[in-house]
Amino acid sequence: MNIDDLIRFYHELTPESVGRFGEFYSDDAYFKDPFNEVRGVAAIQRIFSHMFGQVGEPRFVVVDKVADAGGAMLVWEFSFRVRFWGKGETQIMRGVSHLRFAADGKVAFHRDYWDTGEELYMKLPGLGTLMRGLRRVLAA
């Protein structure tokens, strides 16, 4: 698999294309992010299908990559509209995906790292006020 093909898949991800994860991920691929830890293409597809049901206009853009034959680190921005708070403004979360490839070149391991406090909780009504106040108290 070509890493640029995987990046293009993520850039063009739609509810319909979620079914294509098997083209890029091993059957028993491991996936972990701050809210999920699953194994298998079907479970990974459920996570991304769920995403499309929870937020409006989700879009991944890979802004940097470091890759070799064994794996990759992808720096990304995820933009979306939240249906249940605010005025539906576009939100942006930034994170990194650590990928390891199987012998056939497909993704066997996918771990996402992003700061749930800064990138999500601080933007929520109510909880965001509390988190921002806590941040001010703890900052040097």
pLDDT-based confidence at 132, cuts 50/70/90? low
Is 122 a domain residue? no
Q: How far apart are CA 72 and CA 105, in angstroms?
A: 11
Residue 71 belongs to some domain of the structure? yes
**Domain span holding position 78:** 3-114
Cβ burial of 99 (10 Å; 0-12, 13-18, 19+) is buried
Q: Name the pLDDT band for 43 (thresholds 50, 70, 90).
A: very high
User: Is the residue at 84 inside a domain?
Assistant: yes
Residue 130 inside a domain? The answer is no
User: pTM for the whole thing?
Assistant: 0.82
Domain count, the chain: 1
All residues at 6 or more sequence positions from 132 whose CB lies less than 8 Å from its CB, including other chains: 122
Residue 139 lies in a domain: no
Q: Tell me the per-residue pLDDT of 105-131, one tens digit each, with 9 for 90 and over.
A: 999 999 999 876 655 655 666 655 665
Q: What is the CATH number of the domain that holds 63?
A: 3.10.450.50
Q: Is residue 123 part of a domain?
A: no
68 within a domain of the structure (yes/no)? yes
Q: What is the pLDDT of residue 139?
A: 63
Tell whether 128 is covered by a domain.
no
